[in-house]
Structure 1
Amino acid sequence: MALWIFSFCIMAIEAWGYVYFFDTFLKKKDAGRLQRCRYIVLYPAVVAFALSVKYVGSMGIKVMLAVLLLAVFCGLFYRTDWKQSIFFSMLNYSLLFLTDILLLLTENVLASKDKLCALEYDFLYIPMKMVWILLLFMIRKIWKGRSNFRELSCKEWGVFFMVPLLTVASMLLMYFCYSGERKVQTAYLFLSVGLIFINIFVIELMQGILEKEELLRESALAGQKKESQLAHYRDMQAVYERQGRKMHDYKNQIRTVQVLLKKGDTRAAAALAERLTESISVEMAAVSTNHPVVDAVLNQKFHAAREQGVSMTFRVGDMGGLRLNEEETVILLSNLLDNAIHECVKVARQGRNAVIHVKLVQEGGKLIFSVRNPVVEKVEVTEGTGLSNVKAVADKYGGDFAVSCNAEKFQAVVML
């Protein structure tokens, strides 16, 4: 009975360590009460796993099942994809397995045992788990909260995956090919220590790459900020020029109204005055969202598009509580609208109807910004500066950015 209680305590420590490790690297999902119960969910799963794998003879299958269990747990409780789930599950279990083997080797070397078996004294399991917990504390200290793993390329993920795979393969090799020779035991002991440091080094290397990517993104955003400021000045100049032309037209139309009134044609004068009032209303504010920056960008792009024969339709909501700052708002809206206008100008030159459909609303606590426009031909979606900066804004707030294109239309959607 005491042995069962002791085993359940050991598994409780393991479950806590798993959660602590994943919390270090991954962002938790907004799952409400379920999110606060992730330890309560994982602990019985670890117990059930430990009881069931007793009937599995192959150690390799046991390791694969353990990694699968942890990967499923990651997918349920953390905002992660399958690559991250499998990688961090393998890394987590590798560190636990390594510390177990390290102390097993130490005990076996001291006792000169011929087989790598369980510890002779149960109380030595506590130091094994404490060493693992200390490693987790060390990793938490090293890691600086860089969790934007989307910046890593497939090639970089492939390189990182090699380390936990090599670690698991080495652990299984030591387990199946254990020798009673003191030299082999000592070599395995040093190999275990080396693998632990290699895994920690991989974490440090990953952090360095993410820091570099963040610096590059900030540099790109700074460049985009300068471009946005220049574009703003050009837009303001265009607004002044357009206002100057409109004022000249308005003066002529007002004179015409005066002439009609002098002639007594009040009906024609009233109709012309009504059209003039509608024209001024549209010119002043085509869109109103209760956010000055959003209104400025949308209205500027609306007038710029209209001057080039491109129409815009809007479905907008109240943006008064928008959490983006001014720079991010300009980057998000301007890049996608500029791309849409650029493509629609080509469509208009072919004599086709060029209409940009814009949706900007806040639904269910999320900001949804969608731009849909026709194209001349299917556009190859590339990671240009504009789209990269939009993606950077989406990533900063843990949102999603998706684009799609066929031979008829292009659509970009951002959800924050």
Structure 2
Amino acid sequence: MVMEILIRGTVLSLILAMSCRIFYDTIADGREWRHSLTGGTVLPAFLLAFFFIAFTEIPPYLFQPVRMIAAVFIVAQIYYRIRPLQNLLLSTLFCALIWIIQMFASLLIYILYGRGGNRLWGMDEILCYGILLCLMLLFQKVYKGRDGIRAMAGESWGSFIYFPVFSIIVSVALSMLTLDGGREDGNIMLIVTAGFWLINLVAFDMMENILAGRAKAEKMRLSAERNRNQMEIYRSLQQGDECRKRQIHDYKNQLNCIRGLVDDNRTKEALRYIGQLTGSLNESIHQINTGHPVVNVLLNQKYQSAREQQISMTMTMNNLSELSLSEEDIVTLLANLLDNAIEACLKLHGDRRIQLKMVLEEEELFLSIRNPVEWEVKISGKTAAAAKEKSGEHGLGLGNVDAVIRKNRGRSTLQCQEGWFCFTAVILQPQR
């Protein structure tokens, strides 16, 4: 008897763990681990949590759902990239789904067997968890990878907070009802339960479509921003090429001038003139070389732009030849961040300088940009606005930057302290 209970509890816990993992895998991204084997322990972790619930003393009625929600929440927070509040809502929604399906299974057995269904004690759990696993597999097949589902783990989830809250309240209310009548009451409750979850499925699909539309609009905005940045780079390269052509065209006259000075024995003037020519040539030659062609073009372009506006730039770089970010993402990151820094420095009367650090180490890209600001910058989430300005132009493009960082599973921070604005990001690099 004990062995039978142990096997039954283990099997049910395994089904629950599989369902829970499928649910979170469909909605949220898993965390990156230095050892790939660590990420594979998510199923055993969920299994251990449900195994603990199955074989420990049952708490009072009100604490039973709290215990399950806490177990799901803790494991999901460890293994998935998701905010605590969103995780709490999702874990509660998952548990509410279990409760309502279990109630559906109990009602079905009650309708089929009446009060004599007590002899089938425990069959409702088996039926419930079987239905749950089938629903999660269907959920994953239909919604896996869709933009609207991924948006649920992002910023857009907050506007739909009413959906899980309403579902939780109704689910708990339905689970507390008792059947004092005959099978007619059971039929009514079954219809009410099925109707409620049918409405929820329709609402969920509508919510996913709305979030997918928002995600599509965000992609279009990012695409337009990238195109703008790429056109700026193209114009910069074109201007540089035209400048070099003009310099080459002038070489003949310059060489004739030097020859004339030498023929007249005006050696010092000739040397001084050669020095001036050398200096102008050095300014036109790209000096920054990180090993990555796109980074080189961007940094040289922004460096020259800052220099022309009397803004000094100090850079700490290493070899970025192994940088795995796409060219579009690199352009979005550096162009927006450096443009913001240059715009902020132009508002200063002095101390115009930008500090850039871009280092690739141990499969992580560390990116930091600091610049002084005229006024305190108000930081809200991943955006920033100057306190003395209505438009908040200092933060233009930071939304695009944050989208690129989240896309590449990175993290970033914004700070404004002692007159300095600082952006810092760490982006994981996939193994080659």
Fold-level similarity (TM above 0.5): yes
Corresponding residue for residue 98 of structure 1: 100
**CA 1:25 to 1:130, structure 2 compared with 1: closer, same or farther past 3 Å?**
same
Counterparts of 1:90 and 1:84, CA distance in 2: 10
- Residue 165 of structure 2 aligns to a residue whose secondary structure is helix
CA contact (8 A) 1:74 1:85 kept: yes
Counterparts of 1:27 and 1:215, CA distance in 2: 19
Counterparts of 2:324 and 2:301, CA distance in 1: 22
Tell me how far 1:294 sits from its aligned partner. Answer: 1.1
Deviations 1:48-105 (A, max 9, x none): 1223342x122x2110111111010001111111123112212222222222111111
- Residue 312 of structure 1 aligns to a residue whose secondary structure is strand
Structure 1 residue corresponding to 2:367, chosen from 366, 369, 372: 369
- Residue 115 of structure 2 aligns to a residue whose secondary structure is coil
Corresponding residue for residue 395 of structure 1: 406
Tell me how far 1:167 sits from its aligned partner. Answer: 4.0
Corresponding residue for residue 285 of structure 2: 284
Counterparts of 1:154 and 1:26, CA distance in 2: 12
Corresponding residue for residue 386 of structure 1: 397
Counterparts of 2:259 and 2:172, CA distance in 1: 89
CA contact (8 A) 2:102 2:124 kept: no
Amino acid of the structure 2 residue aligned with 1:218: K
Counterparts of 2:140 and 2:423, CA distance in 1: 37
Structure 1 position 34 matched with structure 2 position 45: no
- Residue 83 of structure 1 aligns to a residue whose secondary structure is helix
Structure 1 position 48 matched with structure 2 position 52: yes
Corresponding residue for residue 173 of structure 1: 176
CA contact (8 A) 1:376 1:407 kept: no
TM-score normalised to the size of structure 1? 0.85
Tell me how far 1:171 sits from its aligned partner. Answer: 3.7
Tell me how far 1:119 sits from its aligned partner. Answer: 6.5
Deviations 1:250-279 (A, max 9, x none): 97699579737964756x866775675465
CA contact (8 A) 2:303 2:313 kept: yes
Stretches of structure 1 that go unaligned for 5 or more consecutive residues are: none
- Residue 112 of structure 1 aligns to a residue whose secondary structure is helix
Deviations 1:207-255 (A, max 9, x none): 2133112211121123213322442344245535765887799976995
Matching of residues 207-222 of structure 1 within 5 Å:
207-222=208-223
Tell me how far 1:333 sits from its aligned partner. Answer: 1.0
Tell me how far 1:310 sits from its aligned partner. Answer: 0.5
TM-score normalised to the size of structure 2? 0.83
CA contact (8 A) 2:9 2:51 kept: no
Counterparts of 1:4 and 1:226, CA distance in 2: 61
- Residue 377 of structure 1 aligns to a residue whose secondary structure is coil
Counterparts of 2:256 and 2:346, CA distance in 1: 33
Amino acid of the structure 1 residue aligned with 2:201: I
CA contact (8 A) 1:142 1:204 kept: no
Pairs aligned (count): 406
Stretches of structure 2 that go unaligned for 5 or more consecutive residues are: 379-383, 386-391, 428-432
Amino acid of the structure 1 residue aligned with 2:172: A
Corresponding residue for residue 79 of structure 1: 81
Counterparts of 2:163 and 2:282, CA distance in 1: 59
Tell me how far 1:378 sits from its aligned partner. Answer: 1.6
CA contact (8 A) 1:377 1:406 kept: no
Structure 1 position 414 matched with structure 2 position 425: yes
- Residue 409 of structure 2 aligns to a residue whose secondary structure is coil
Counterparts of 2:411 and 2:237, CA distance in 1: 32
Amino acid of the structure 1 residue aligned with 2:39: Q
CA contact (8 A) 2:356 2:368 kept: yes
Counterparts of 1:109 and 1:71, CA distance in 2: 34
CA contact (8 A) 1:107 1:119 kept: no
**CA 1:169 to 1:124, structure 2 compared with 1: closer, same or farther past 3 Å?**
closer
Counterparts of 1:6 and 1:363, CA distance in 2: 49
CA contact (8 A) 1:104 1:118 kept: no
Corresponding residue for residue 139 of structure 1: 139
**CA 1:16 to 1:226, structure 2 compared with 1: closer, same or farther past 3 Å?**
closer
Deviations 1:114-145 (A, max 9, x none): 9xx97634455433322111111221122131
**CA 1:7 to 1:83, structure 2 compared with 1: closer, same or farther past 3 Å?**
same
Tell me how far 1:111 sits from its aligned partner. Answer: 3.6
Matching of residues 145-184 of structure 1 within 5 Å:
145=145, 146=147, 147-149=150-152, 151-153=154-156, 155-174=158-177, 177-184=178-185
Matching of residues 240-389 of structure 1 within 5 Å:
255=257, 259=261, 263=265, 273=274, 277=278, 280-347=281-348, 350=349, 352-380=350-378, 381=384, 386-389=397-400
Counterparts of 2:129 and 2:193, CA distance in 1: 16
Counterparts of 2:107 and 2:314, CA distance in 1: 70
**CA 1:365 to 1:171, structure 2 compared with 1: closer, same or farther past 3 Å?**
farther
Amino acid of the structure 2 residue aligned with 1:72: I
Percent identity of paired positions between Structure 1 and Structure 2: 25
CA contact (8 A) 1:297 1:333 kept: yes
Higher mean displacement: 94-103 or 42-51: 42-51
CA contact (8 A) 1:335 1:390 kept: yes
Tell me how far 1:154 sits from its aligned partner. Answer: 6.1
Counterparts of 1:360 and 1:13, CA distance in 2: 46
Amino acid of the structure 1 residue aligned with 2:219: E
**CA 1:313 to 1:375, structure 2 compared with 1: closer, same or farther past 3 Å?**
same
Amino acid of the structure 1 residue aligned with 2:281: I
CA contact (8 A) 1:317 1:362 kept: yes
Amino acid of the structure 2 residue aligned with 1:361: V
Structure 1 residue corresponding to 2:20, chosen from 18, 21, 46: 18
CA contact (8 A) 1:312 1:356 kept: yes
